[in-house]
Amino acid sequence: MKIDIISYKLPNHTPSPKQECGWVALHASKAVGWNSLIFESYDTIKFANAFVEEEYRGNGIYKMLWDARWEYCKENFKGWKVISYCLPTTLQFYKDRGFTEVYTSTLVESTIDC
């Protein structure tokens, strides 16, 4: 399967907090996966919004997107801290890449009254 990874909104100047940029995986020009990073502060980046369309999973697309984001960070943000809120399915993936577990968070939800 031929997948192209393209980036969007990469900052041209020193990024401001809350600025976001990301990567999209294209298969035959269709977006089938994406991820992003958010500049949390002037020395911390948050990895976020990783998603691969269900029928395309298990083909290494998440890994390709992750690697593209990581290479960009290594080239441009040496010494910065990187954080990410992982699901159990991706925790080991992060640990294999040198990330350490800090704490576990809980997903909460509600429905807005009609």
Ligand X SMILES: CC(C)(COP(=O)(O)OP(=O)(O)OC[C@H]1O[C@@H](n2cnc3c(N)ncnc32)[C@H](O)[C@@H]1OP(=O)(O)O)[C@@H](O)C(=O)NCCC(=O)NCCS
Q: Examine residue 60 and tell whether it contacts ligand X (CB under 6 A).
A: yes
Decide: residue 25, CB within 10 A, 0-12 exposed, 13-18 middle, 19+ buried: buried
Q: Which is nearer to ligand X, 39 or 52 (CB)?
A: 52
Q: Which is nearer to ligand X, 61 or 82 (CB)?
A: 61
Structure tokens at 27: 């298969």
Per-residue contact flags (x/-) with ligand X for residues 72 to 101, judged by CB under 6 A: --------------xx-xx-xx--------
Q: Are the C-beta atoms of residues 22 and 7 closer than 8 Å to each other?
A: yes
Q: Examine residue 57 and tell whether it contacts ligand X (CB under 6 A).
A: yes
Instruction: Report the site for ligand X in 37-56 (rule: CB under 6 A).
Output: 50-52
Binding interface with ligand X (CB under 6 A)? 50-52, 57-63, 86-87, 89-90, 92-93
